Structure 1
Amino acid sequence: MTPLTSGPPPARAAAAPSLPGDAGPETDTPLLIAAGTVILPDREFSPGWVEVRAGLIVGSGGGTPPRPADVTAPHGILAPGFVDAHSHGGGGVSFNDPDTRAAAHRIVATHREHGTTTMMASLVTAPIDEMETLVTALAELVRDGLLAGIHLEGPWLSPAHRGAHAERLLLPPTPQSVDRLMRAGAGAVRMVTIAPELDGGLAAVARIVGYGSVAAIGHTDADYETSRAAIEAGVTVGTHVFNAMRPLHHREPGAALAVLEDPSVFAELIADGVHLHPAVVRLIIESRAKPVFVTDAMAAACADEGDYKLGDLDVTVANGEARLADGTIAGSVLTLSKAVRFAVLTAGVPLAFAVRAATQNPADLLSLTDRGRIHPGLRADLVLLDAALHVTATLHHGTWVPSPSRPAREL
């Protein structure tokens, strides 16, 4: 990958733009947005513009727009909407909550307000009967379009690197247990994290891929050779690399190096300053793997600090960190907008690299070909950032996303 050379953007802040109208799927009214910077997959326009009609991107370009813009942000940055492939909750609730449909709507709305226009529902380990019920309920929301899919982070994980998963609920990946949860999703389970060194683990990887799902290596004690075998069997993602896996060692590099040296594999990273040092964030971005920012957010994201549940376990959130009683990190309180901001302003990652890790790379990971890029014909999922990389507006499928602090059309 190209070495990191450019620094953070200027710190000059911009006023939030006025947003006059939508171009959602129900209307054919065009919407033209002009910004100081527009980030495309392979280039940037400074300044640039994007035109939207009927919920789709219909054009983009650099310089002066072809007609007077409906929205103008001369110091703003226009990027694709963020895609979160790994999130457990937010707004005070979790996808593992019993009323998972209501929780899912709240979680999606919470993160959408912060620029995430596509979200996966990640489930932590629970009793398999409960997981089956949750998968069945969430699958309806996938079919309705609220969610991009379901991510099973458990129950087929290593007890040695279980993180915030209850050890008593972990299971070996038998064909029966894999089939049970995959069939409950009826195609909605889009990603599964698994420890391939478990008995039957490599066969389970192939079985998961056979269902059309993405297999991810994580919460694993696999050595380098087993990790390479898992990639050969079909693993294409490393779940929050370096966290909940055997540490990198010069004589036994484990799963982390197996992931980072392979250009066919996506590497999840949690860029919050808690899970990874800024230098390690840069290391992953510069690796041969395709970096993907994920939040791994739990219920306390965008909510008050205090005591929470993550699956079966008690979590205390204080000073921006979520931890079990023994100090184990238990997810995050991150949004993808914060991840991009941390990566650029603290870790020194070039803006275009950070945007790609939060948009097109996760879209590619999940085979979502209709979003994650600014390109004609794709969904009009866009996020407008100010020069300090704070979200000032979000467009979801051509419609402005309202928020309590920023009602649509009144920013």
Structure 2
Amino acid sequence: MNNKIIQHVKVHLPHQILPSATVWISNGMLKRIEPTQEIETIEGEDERIDGKGMWLIPGMIDVHIHGANGYDMMDGTEDSIQEVSRACAATGCTSFLATSVSSTMEDLLNMIRSVKAVIGREQGARIAGIHLEGPYLNPKRKGMQNEKYLRHPNLEEMKLIFQEAGSLIKMVTIAPELPGGLELISFLKEQGVVIAVAHSDATYEEAKLAFTAGASHVTHCFNGMRPIHHRDPGLIVAAFEEPHVSLQAIVDQVHLHPAIVRLMHRLKGPEGMVLITDALQAMGLGDGNYMFGGHHVTVSGGIARLADGTLASSTVTMNEALRLTEANGISMEDAVCMASTTPAHILGLSHKGKIEVGYDADLVLMDEHYQVQWTMIEGNLVPMKDT
């Protein structure tokens, strides 16, 4: 059945909350959204879904995720990509960028081939493309990135990557101050890629050059980059000053202090800030020992660290990031915008990220505790699996 009616839901519209509404879906698209005075009998044979007064939000979009449920997208297998797809859907995410870490060229190409084999037949969230996080990153700000794989930007190597991945490459994170960085930005801009900056020791001046050249995004802002100093503002302040530059935020109460989350929101607004998980394979499994990016990683109390104490991605989910963002003092309307609408806009997903007539019926039903009850992608309910 292609047509559905969702009743008894509190709906997050782009600039309005309907405390009680009915939503009509036809052929995977949002056909009609109306406030409900009283739920009377609705004529027709459409499938009816009772939302039981819970929240209906647009499907969230994670532009930065590495793994989940014990699977890493760098494993080079289709099963790993599918497991991340399922885990994303179970936590309210309907689209995601399969994200790499710095590696050998062979491992990166295997990851790309796995994504290509799965795209179009995902069992959960849809793959919106690939995010290359590295390998053109600065060892001085490497974070958990494996230094033995880091190298200077190499235009010929990047062209080989594009030969394999083509238009699937949607975002590339680089350190623009490295030799060849600006040349690589020019190439990526020609390809229509979102150029992000992180794992970078760029000065304020170097970052300004990168943003002028075409960089427009900051990966996991404040983490893996030169910190702000009053005589050396660095790339973060440069990004704050550029209206076209958006920021990623890992809101897990570990990577960013709540006051920093509020500062980012105050300066950039919900249209200039995106919630991400940056999750590794421990997402959904919890504490234990893992391998990630060629490193041994220990997760304790939900916090992933290398042996030397360096933070190594996160275990937060998108629905938990949404909850924590509101707990940090940001309205739910803005938090939903940062989790859904803004990433859709950044990636050019013109029919996703909003509950609006004519948009894809990518929807999430959540209770008051932000627990996902079900996820719908293009009008189809995704079979749920515990994560």
The answer, yes or no, to whether TM exceeds 0.5 is yes
Query: Does 1:255 find its partner at 2:235?
Result: yes
Q: 2:302 is matched by which residue type in structure 1?
A: G
- Residue 403 of structure 1: how far off its partner (Å): 2.1
Relative to structure 1, is the Cα distance of residues 405 and 275 closer, same or farther in structure 2, using a 3 angstrom cutoff?
closer
Map 1:153-168 to 2 at 5 A.
153-168=133-148
Render the CA deviation track for 1:156-188: whole Å, top value 9, x for unaligned.
001011111111111111211221212221111
- Matched with 1:125 is 102
TM-score, normalization: structure 1? Answer: 0.88
Q: 1:330 is matched by which residue type in structure 2?
A: A
Superposition CA RMSD, Å: 1.8
- In 2, are the aligned partners of 1:139 and 1:150 still within 8 Å (CA)? no
- Residue 65 of structure 1: how far off its partner (Å): 6.9
- Matched with 2:294 is 312
- Residue 351 of structure 1: how far off its partner (Å): 0.4
Equivalents in 1 of 2:92, 2:138: separation in Å? 33
- Residue 98 of structure 1: how far off its partner (Å): 3.1
Equivalents in 2 of 1:322, 1:364: separation in Å? 30
- Residue 260 of structure 1: how far off its partner (Å): 2.3
State the secondary structure of the residue aligned to 1:215.
strand
- In 1, are the aligned partners of 2:81 and 2:114 still within 8 Å (CA)? no
Equivalents in 1 of 2:38, 2:278: separation in Å? 38
Return the match for 1:296 from 250, 267, 278. 278
- Matched with 1:324 is 306
Return the match for 2:12 from 30, 35, 39. 39
Relative to structure 1, is the Cα distance of residues 189 and 142 closer, same or farther in structure 2, using a 3 angstrom cutoff?
farther
Render the CA deviation track for 1:211-240: whole Å, top value 9, x for unaligned.
221110111100111111111111111001
- In 2, are the aligned partners of 1:88 and 1:123 still within 8 Å (CA)? yes
* Structure that is richer in helix per residue: 2
- In 2, are the aligned partners of 1:81 and 1:117 still within 8 Å (CA)? yes
State the secondary structure of the residue aligned to 2:64.
coil
Query: Does 1:400 find its partner at 2:381?
Result: yes
- In 2, are the aligned partners of 1:161 and 1:245 still within 8 Å (CA)? yes
Relative to structure 1, is the Cα distance of residues 158 and 28 closer, same or farther in structure 2, using a 3 angstrom cutoff?
same
Q: 1:329 is matched by which residue type in structure 2?
A: L
State the secondary structure of the residue aligned to 2:115.
helix
- Matched with 2:89 is 112
Query: Does 1:177 find its partner at 2:142?
Result: no
Map 1:195-206 to 2 at 5 A.
195-206=175-186
Equivalents in 2 of 1:266, 1:50: separation in Å? 32
Structure 2 unaligned segments of length 5 or more: list them: 43-47
Equivalents in 2 of 1:239, 1:132: separation in Å? 22
TM-score, normalization: structure 2? Answer: 0.93
Return the match for 1:373 from 354, 357, 361. 354
- Residue 124 of structure 1: how far off its partner (Å): 0.4
Query: Does 1:349 find its partner at 2:349?
Result: no
State the secondary structure of the residue aligned to 1:119.
strand
Equivalents in 1 of 2:321, 2:102: separation in Å? 25
Equivalents in 1 of 2:90, 2:376: separation in Å? 10
Equivalents in 2 of 1:126, 1:67: separation in Å? 58
Map 1:67-216 to 2 at 5 A.
68=41, 70-99=48-77, 101-142=78-119, 146-216=126-196
Equivalents in 1 of 2:117, 2:28: separation in Å? 23
- Matched with 2:45 is none
- Residue 266 of structure 1: how far off its partner (Å): 1.4
Equivalents in 1 of 2:386, 2:146: separation in Å? 38
Equivalents in 2 of 1:68, 1:225: separation in Å? 64
- Percentage of pairs with the same residue: 34
Equivalents in 2 of 1:106, 1:190: separation in Å? 21
State the secondary structure of the residue aligned to 1:269.
strand
Q: 2:294 is matched by which residue type in structure 1?
A: D
Equivalents in 2 of 1:68, 1:251: separation in Å? 67
- Residue 311 of structure 1: how far off its partner (Å): 1.7
Moved more, 128-137 or 202-211: 128-137
State the secondary structure of the residue aligned to 2:216.
strand
Relative to structure 1, is the Cα distance of residues 46 and 225 closer, same or farther in structure 2, using a 3 angstrom cutoff?
same
- Residue 66 of structure 1: how far off its partner (Å): 7.7
Return the match for 1:280 from 252, 260, 267. 260
- In 1, are the aligned partners of 2:286 and 2:302 still within 8 Å (CA)? no
Q: 1:120 is matched by which residue type in structure 2?
A: L
Query: Does 1:30 find its partner at 2:4?
Result: yes
- In 2, are the aligned partners of 1:158 and 1:219 still within 8 Å (CA)? yes
